[in-house]
């Protein structure tokens, strides 16, 4: 008998979205969890989100670019100024054991017949964005498991390996066929960017091989209030409403 995994990504310190997603996942039978990184950044509850993933879910996790930058002294010149402001704020919020934990996260992780990575298996440390079939083709060269889950773009989508490289498929529920390879973007829990403000995540049944894309409404007003109370950039609050 299989297990139902909830695959979460780009939580970005949004505790209100994370709690709503966990409630939705458990109501649909999820007993296992996995996380494709970026637990911090953009929103105002980084320590709370780390605590849930690390201490409550105790699930496999990989490192996202925000996790890496927050837990190091790396220059933020590559970051958008808004993102950089929140990275600097987050560095001040976290205890040393939280920072140590983020710093030790792996770049990729094999789980039960699938792999986790934040961006792409094609040089994951470069944090490349996969927005098209060409970029997905480069990734498939390195994917050894039938399924790889990722995030980073905050846009849920599916790529299927094919003779020409990769096919792009919409984020709709389907059964993973045996003998094929899929690269699945689970979207973002804490800051969706596909025009739908609801939190995004994926359920995967390892027995039936069914993949389900979920969207969950949560208390955006509460998340915005946290951002404003923390003095973080207004853009971080505004974009939660539009999902952009
Ligand atoms: Fe992200």
77 CA distance to ligand 1 middle (Å):
17
141 CA distance to ligand 1 middle (Å):
24
pLDDT digits (tens, 9 = 90+) for 81-126: 999 999 999 999 999 999 999 999 999 999 988 999 999 999 999 9
163 CA distance to ligand 1 middle (Å):
30
Structural domains in the chain plus CATH codes:
4-242 (3.60.21.10)
Does position 223 have pLDDT exceeding 80, yes or no? yes
- Is beta strand 147-150 parallel, antiparallel or unpaired with respect to 182-185? parallel
Angle (nearest 5°) at CA 227 between 226 and 228: 95
pLDDT digits (tens, 9 = 90+) for 141-159: 999 999 999 999 999 999 9
186: left (phi over 0), alpha (psi -120 to 50) or beta: alpha
4 CA distance to ligand 1 middle (Å):
24
189 CA distance to ligand 1 middle (Å):
10
At 112 the pLDDT is 83
Q: What is the DSSP string of the chain?
A: ---EEEEE---TT-HHHHHHHHHHHHHTT--EEEE-S--SSSSS-HHHHHHIIIIII---B---HHHHHHTS----TTS-HHHHHHHHHHHHHS-HHHHHHHHT--SEEE-SSEEEESS-SSSGGG-----SHHHHHHHHTT--SSEEEE-SSS--EEEEEETTEEEEE-S--EE--TT--EEEE---SS---SS--SEEEEEEETTT-EEEEEEE---HHHHHHHHHHTT--HHHHHHHHHT-
Write down the mean pLDDT value for the chain. 96
10 CA distance to ligand 1 middle (Å):
5
At 78 the pLDDT is 81
179 CA distance to ligand 1 middle (Å):
31
217 CA distance to ligand 1 middle (Å):
19
Does position 208 have pLDDT exceeding 90, yes or no? yes
140 CA distance to ligand 1 middle (Å):
21
32 CA distance to ligand 1 middle (Å):
22
65 CA distance to ligand 1 middle (Å):
7
227 CA distance to ligand 1 middle (Å):
17
pLDDT digits (tens, 9 = 90+) for 30-81: 999 999 999 999 999 999 999 999 999 999 999 999 999 999 988 888 889 9
């Amino acid at each position: 008998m299989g297990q139902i995994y909830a695959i979460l990504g780009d939580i970005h310190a949004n505790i209100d979205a994370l709690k709503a997603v966990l409630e939705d996942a458990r109501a649909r039978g999820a007993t296992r969890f996995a996380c494709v990184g970026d637990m911090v950044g953009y929103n105002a509850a980084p320590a709370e989100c780390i605590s849930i993933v690390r201490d409550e879910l105790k699930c496999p996790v990989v490192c996202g670019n925000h996790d890496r930058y927050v837990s190091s002294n790396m220059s933020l010149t590559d970051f958008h100024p808004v993102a950089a402001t929140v990275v600097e704020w987050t560095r001040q919020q976290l205890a040393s054991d939280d920072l140590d934990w983020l710093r030790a996260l792996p770049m990729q992780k094999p789980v039960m017949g699938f792999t986790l990575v934040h961006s792409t298996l094609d040089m994951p440390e470069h944090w490349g964005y996969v927005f098209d079939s060409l970029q997905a083709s480069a990734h498939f060269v390195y994917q050894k498991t039938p399924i790889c889950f990722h995030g980073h773009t905050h846009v849920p989508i599916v790529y299927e390996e094919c003779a020409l490289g990769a096919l792009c498929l919409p984020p709709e529920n389907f059964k993973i066929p045996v003998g094929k390879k899929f690269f699945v973007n689970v979207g973002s829990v804490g800051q969706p960017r596909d025009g739908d403000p609801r939190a995004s995540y994926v359920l995967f049944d390892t027995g039936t091989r069914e993949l389900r894309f979920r969207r969950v409404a949560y208390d955006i007003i509460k998340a915005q209030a946290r951002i404003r109370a923390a003095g973080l950039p207004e853009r971080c609050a505004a974009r939660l409403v539009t999902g952009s």
